[in-house]
Copies of this chain bind each other. A is one copy, B any other.
Amino acid sequence: MTLCWVDGSPADALCVKDRGLAYGDGLFETILVKSGQPLLFERHLQRLASGGQRLTLALDLAIIRRECMAFAQQMGEGVMKLIVTRGDGQRGYAPTPDAPPRRVLQGSLLPAYPERNAEHGIRLFSCQTRLAEQPLLAGLKHLNRLEQVIARGEWQDAEHAEGLMRDTSGRIIEAVYSNLFLVKDNMLQTADLSRCGVAGVMRAELLVQAQAAGICVKVVDLQMADLEQADEVFVCNSVYGIWPVCAFERQNWLVGPLTRKLQNLARRLLDI
């Protein structure tokens, strides 16, 4: 049995009136847990808090912090998923003003990724599904994820560990489960996420740490030509760290030095 709490108590069910179910009206975080500690936890809480502000969810961060710490302690090791929703609703989109947000915590085992993903890199599938441009939701890890569900349904083979997602204007935004970085002439580039995409916790951490290490970093609009001309390509998230990208369509890349350097950095962040 996997560990699961609803509003701080062990439970594996929640009220059918929950607005998370009705409208995807909420946010989530997927947090790596090792030795009973949630990793990159402050960044996860930071993103959650800023999402709560943008969706006007009255989150009690002190309770959320406490519960996550206690839950991680019980889990020991694995992936902790935190969902916060606007709580129970009545019929209609208007929120019930006095309904407190709901907290759901679910634990799962550490995923068993093939060693080669981190060592030799992954093949990136070219998703046809495009991300709609919605600045009001851009960057948030909210519960409206049908675009990712459809995109992930585009490939079944085990050859592709990730899929590249563009927006409806053709710009490169991210991968289905992660953010994408390019290296060109020793400069690190990743997509601007003000129109769509999820602003990943590992992405944020890498941007800060790379800059601190004297690496030139640019958050820009990325076109397909930028990918074609990139010297190195990698994807990142807060569970597996960094995977080099070794292939996309007819293109191939070797694992580059900057990717390795940042990968080691990510490893240290995800290992205590």
Contact = CB atoms under 8 A, between A and B. Distances in A.
Interface string A1-28: 0001010000111111111111111001
A93 B149 contact: yes
A226 interface: no
Contact of A146 (B18, B23, B90, B177): B23
Contacts of A130: 134, 136
Contacts of A83: 16, 21-22
A104 interface: yes
A55 B16 contact: no
- Contact-size category for A: 35 or more
A91 B79 contact: yes
Interface-centre pick from A12, A90, A145, A146 (highest chain B CB count, 10 A): A146
Interface in A248-269: none
A150 interface: yes
A92 interface: yes
A136 B150 contact: yes
A69 interface: no
